[in-house]
Structure 1
């Protein structure tokens, strides 16, 4: 390979162009260099490097085998559904993955690298499944129908670059789409789904949340609008709630729950509220308490324990659980 510097970035830019644009060679070179400059200021590639990259895309043995016609003025895939993301790793890409895994072994006792190591293992397992003789080793919990992951990277970059976006959104119960100005400030994952929080400039509302799923129709970057910084302590914001829905004027309350059939041990190994406290009294070892707002996600988590949990306080939450159980009883006692 003539130039492996930022090759992965170039390949992603080229793949995007071949799927969505119709550039001449000169236009393509300019677009790629503009993309490189964003991440590598002052750098770019030459005509020769771009030609070598095109060879990699067309190469069916050591490249991507892309349907990219030769001797044409406009460079575009003949198959609009093709993407290099569907192809196996190139030799140098596999080398980078292996090198990253070896590097992480040096930090295996540092918890902050655990998630990255997990991601690399999952990625490697997915790649190996393309080999028909490979035996599946990992069976992990994921949402196969989830399409919102495609928004994660562009929104992450928008937050880092402090870019304002115009969002087109349609809720599950909405008949028409709505459009609003949005200042993305934080990303949050909950229940195998991502959400972006920020300032809704159209409604002038702080801590507005948008789910990254089919309800988010599209978004475009807005020029000429000053990005509004957040003054929210997001750590406290999320630690005083379960999930992502925070009702307007919600107040933090003390919640006490009692477990049955030894289920308190399960809760303590995977708490839905990380800042829970245990009681010192011997007769209360099956109880915990925590401070949180009352929302639907809290109720759902409590209901997931079925008959093995009882809410002792507050009264308002007890009443909600009581109403839920009465409604459920009607479903099964007909």
Structure 2
């Protein structure tokens, strides 16, 4: 039996409730939790009968084979919780029908992996095949991905994605570092991952400008009924002239000339620092590259990561900034 999107939402909410050993859930509690998320995702709420059917399906072999504690009650009311505290349907293997559907989907996606905008598919497909055990004859994992499963804010990702799709104005509660919590209205536009962190790009009504917020500093994001201001930004182009996610307003890109050590230049040529990177033909040793970007915090972070293998040759603005960083670093090691 394949599972549609609305049913998957319901099962995921129930799974979260059954896994919560810090709270008691009766039928009415479960119904409230499920309907709250359904409405949030633009779906119709369900009745008690559908909830009962969902739980029965989740307990069946055709579903997820979950085991609930049959002995929990408050008076005459039944309470729902997994028998095993460590169980989750996310660990449950796919049934044959869903496995076949997933394989078909991966085959369809594979057709587009050579298109520039779908380069991510080349990494996504082996990850999916390994995660769902679609590759036969493989006993151990053979590929690893950089990720941070403990990163705070991951729970906001799906919710914000749906709010962007539905073009909803959001009341954002945000906790800056070493400051009091802030709250403001935003118009969410785009989600981007950089350096294993997710960032939300939006229009901030208070600042009347595009702002970005790391998801791990977001406390809450709630939909409002305010009128949504759509974005005219082409987000594929927005990041073309920067490294990372910070784009200073009113600053133009600069040609930045970077001279690397003989050992490190080989690495730089096989893994370019930026899409604009090109070799400086004036350097007979082929150790110098030029990138055209707007200087920002992430650029300097990246340049500093090369240590003594890199010298910024031009322009003087970036060179002086690197000198300043180097001087401060030198003081810390005296």
Which of the numbers 67, 73, 81 marks the counterpart of 1:77? 81
Map 1:18-167; keep pairs closer than 5 Å.
Answer: 23-24=27-28, 31=35, 38=42, 50-59=51-60, 63-67=64-68, 76-77=80-81, 84-91=88-95, 92-104=97-109, 115-116=120-121, 118-126=123-131, 134-167=139-172
Distance 1:165 1:85, change over 3 A: farther
Unaligned residue ranges in structure 1 (runs of 5+): none
1:29 and 1:211 mapped to 2: Cα distance? 27
Unaligned residue ranges in structure 2 (runs of 5+): none
Q: Which secondary structure state, in structure 1, belongs to the residue aligned with residue 284 of structure 2?
A: helix
Are the aligned partners of 1:197 and 1:207 in contact in 2 as well (CA < 8 Å)?
A: yes
**Alignment-derived partner of residue 242 in structure 1:** 243
Distance 1:163 1:58, change over 3 A: same
CA-CA distance at 1:195 after TM superposition: 0.4
Provide the aligned length of Structure 1 versus Structure 2: 321
Distance 1:83 1:181, change over 3 A: farther
CA-CA distance at 1:200 after TM superposition: 0.7
* Segment drifting more, 97-106 vs 28-37: 28-37
CA-CA distance at 1:115 after TM superposition: 2.7
CA-CA distance at 1:266 after TM superposition: 1.7
* Segment drifting more, 283-292 vs 25-34: 25-34
CA-CA distance at 1:294 after TM superposition: 1.2
Q: How does the TM-score come out when normalised to structure 1?
A: 0.79
**Alignment-derived partner of residue 222 in structure 1:** 224
Q: How does the TM-score come out when normalised to structure 2?
A: 0.79
Distance 1:34 1:212, change over 3 A: closer
Please tell me the root mean square deviation across aligned C-alpha atoms, in Å.
3.7
Distance 1:76 1:306, change over 3 A: same
CA-CA distance at 1:82 after TM superposition: 7.0
1:282 and 1:83 mapped to 2: Cα distance? 60
Are the aligned partners of 1:17 and 1:23 in contact in 2 as well (CA < 8 Å)?
A: no
1:255 and 1:210 mapped to 2: Cα distance? 27
Distance 1:319 1:161, change over 3 A: same
* Segment drifting more, 137-146 vs 290-299: 137-146
Distance 1:11 1:96, change over 3 A: farther
1:44 and 1:88 mapped to 2: Cα distance? 26
Map 1:179-328; keep pairs closer than 5 Å.
Answer: 179-201=183-205, 203-213=206-216, 215-223=217-225, 225-281=226-282, 283=284, 285-328=286-329
* Segment drifting more, 162-171 vs 82-91: 82-91
